[in-house]
Amino acid sequence: MWIVDSGTTLHVTPRKEFFTSYTSGNFGVLKMGNDGVSKVIGVGDVCLQTNMGTQLLLKGVKHAPYVRFNLISMRMLDDGGYDNHFGFEKLKLTTLFTVGIVDWWSMVGKINFV
């Protein structure tokens, strides 16, 4: 499950198997909202499949093994040209180059506002 987070500044996951491309190394320390820290031991791309058959490629995802959740940064989506709309238990993402709408509700199970 991935959580769309309006408070995080980057995409992050503790699970290496989600990456479609990956570079390991020492990428510093990630400071979390609970004042905890986690080393970032890798960075790469993650491709997510939605229930509508659409794929979303998240670039520059940080691999931090001590993070508890898979987080999608709304800020990074905005910076990547996505238009975000919340409502009726759904997040709809659209871009100038996208025909149709990405429906995240079924993929994430629930949306948490952080």
Question: Is 30 a member of any domain?
Answer: yes
Cα(61)–Cα(42) distance, integer angstroms:
8
Q: Catalytic site residues?
A: 5
pTM of structure: 0.76
Instruction: State the Rg of the chain over Cα.
Output: 14
**Residue 94: CATH number of its domain:** 2.40.70
Cα(114)–Cα(28) distance, integer angstroms:
23
Question: Is 113 a member of any domain?
Answer: no
Q: Which domain holds residue 13?
A: 2-108
pLDDT one digit per residue (tens) for the chain, 114 residues: 888 888 889 999 999 999 999 999 999 999 887 888 999 999 999 998 877 777 888 999 999 999 999 999 988 888 877 776 666 666 666 665 544 444 444 444 433 433
Nearest-CA neighbor of 48 among 61, 63, 37? Answer: 61
Cα(26)–Cα(35) distance, integer angstroms:
20
How many structural domains comprise the chain? Answer: 1
Question: Is 114 a member of any domain?
Answer: no
